[in-house]
Structure 1
């Protein structure tokens, strides 16, 4: 089977599984990059390449070239995951008998701890919006939901008015893979939402609107956050996901159990949530080394 035909079948299957548009575009980009390399490596025209021409050595050569060009291991692992999914699908459909990626090891990744904001920084940021006008009230809602409920940006901008049950203090959120979950909202968020909706004079079903009256985009949320960070002169780059990291970190610091945090974040695997326990341990070590007099003893002091 020609590569183009196999790719069309694979993408069609991904669409049927309700994969996000972002995921599907990433698959196409990574796979097309590999196919172009494989065609060149095998001395073929890309449109004449067939799936059975690709073997483990082609895959390993591809990864070797990526490594020589200095591509990050995380990006290499993502591309390999796309290849693994593609060839696993072809084997499942009986188009191939052997998966050329099956015996290729993924690059080892160093565990990178997520960045977060301290409570005083969060407090300053939450006080930054000007709540005397409509857009300021909207910005307050953005912050209160990103930090107060730990929402992803994609979940935030997809919220509709009928997703809210403010009397019960709950909202319905559409997470990754179109999986719905119910999360609590803080009283601060409820007050901010009610103040914002009271100023609205439209009937748009979307909760958050831009100045043109249409649904807010992820890019707009990032720009709004950048402006608020600049307003309080916070000397670090803050992205929306950092508020979600802060939400999880502060919950665990406050004594929340890991399973509850997993459910609140909408993580499929507990291992995705466990990284925050590493983060809180690092914080405890940092506090200990700075505050305890016996922790400050240097090697020279012992001599």
Structure 2
């Protein structure tokens, strides 16, 4: 895994990282090794907050912490590393509360990897439509951003899978993507009609003007012709969320969860969803059985011999 990006000096000052490090060293007596680990974890967190437009401790919410945890999971961090990062965040916000830098503790209900059973918010079908249709058609990157949103929802890709998607992995005739997932394992994922059309328009009308020989054969490129970064994908989703008027946090992982949930609500088999998501263990996929209880009751009534109310 590549080294975590570092926050700039301004962010370090606004979030009081040096006083916090002094607190850990001189008041808590933590070892140099633990201090380095906390600095790395908090540095990664500040870069994430920059992408979210958060500029000081008081603006951090439980939603930010939850989505940050899912980003760590998507980046492939082990549960032990995620728990360590969460410990660093809890210690940091204890410090912020004591110093008057925050009004409440957003880590109060933060779930550890062992407790993951609840998912980030899932979008409703109307919200998905609003989100996908929110980019400005007059913007030069419209078809790229539209294609990104369509593929995230249509195929349920992780951010890393989207940014690593190769041109050779797209089969428009069969509407299939060859996705390289965790552990370099490959799987085939259907590409829905709207997503296929958006990707085709992007490849035909936008990407040729971006590619300056530095695109490394990837589907999605930046405005400068480089392979798309994860941060750029997050920014595209964030901008679309704001433009769509959705008043809650939405991340690329939210679209992945929405993809799985809508499949199950439509009657898809759990094992099929497992295959589409690239989960090795079906127990991981079973968290999607959180789907609306009212829908489950309706399925039971419609299909079970003794499901009729009365």
Matches within 5 A, 1:85-100: none
Residue 158 (structure 1) aligned with residue 164 (structure 2): yes
Asked whether the equivalents of residues 171 and 183 of structure 1 are also in contact (C-alpha less than 8 Å), the reply is yes
Larger radius of gyration: 1
Matches within 5 A, 1:43-62: none
What CA distance in whole angstroms lies between the structure 2 residues aligned with 1:113 and 1:123? 21
1:89-124 deviation per Cα after TM superposition (whole angstroms, max 9, x unaligned): xxxxxxxxxxxxxxxxx9963632332100000011
Asked whether the equivalents of residues 144 and 189 of structure 1 are also in contact (C-alpha less than 8 Å), the reply is yes
Residue 168 (structure 1) aligned with residue 174 (structure 2): yes
Aligned to 1:138: 144
* CA-atom RMSD in angstroms: 3.5
Residue 116 (structure 1) aligned with residue 117 (structure 2): no
Structure 1 segments of 4+ aligned residues over 4 angstroms from their partners: 20-23, 80-83, 282-285
- Give the TM-score normalised by the residue count of structure 2: 0.58
Residue 235 (structure 1) aligned with residue 236 (structure 2): no
Deviation of the 1:162 alpha carbon? 0.8
Q: Relative to structure 1, is the Cα distance of residues 282 and 78 closer, same or farther in structure 2, using a 3 angstrom cutoff? A: farther
Asked whether the equivalents of residues 249 and 280 of structure 1 are also in contact (C-alpha less than 8 Å), the reply is no
Q: Relative to structure 1, is the Cα distance of residues 116 and 22 closer, same or farther in structure 2, using a 3 angstrom cutoff? A: farther
1:248-293 deviation per Cα after TM superposition (whole angstroms, max 9, x unaligned): 00000000000000000000110111111123337657xxxxxxxx
Aligned residues: 204
1:181 maps to which of 184, 187, 211 = 187
What CA distance in whole angstroms lies between the structure 1 residues aligned with 2:292 and 2:144? 31
Matches within 5 A, 1:221-260: 221-260=233-272
Residue 269 (structure 1) aligned with residue 281 (structure 2): yes
Asked whether the equivalents of residues 155 and 174 of structure 1 are also in contact (C-alpha less than 8 Å), the reply is yes
For structure 1, which runs of at least 5 residues remain unmatched after alignment? 1-19, 24-36, 47-71, 84-105, 286-303
1:209 maps to which of 205, 209, 221 = 221
Asked whether the equivalents of residues 157 and 218 of structure 1 are also in contact (C-alpha less than 8 Å), the reply is yes
Residue 281 (structure 1) aligned with residue 282 (structure 2): no
What CA distance in whole angstroms lies between the structure 2 residues aligned with 1:224 and 1:158? 16
Q: Relative to structure 1, is the Cα distance of residues 125 and 176 closer, same or farther in structure 2, using a 3 angstrom cutoff? A: same
Q: Relative to structure 1, is the Cα distance of residues 282 and 167 closer, same or farther in structure 2, using a 3 angstrom cutoff? A: same
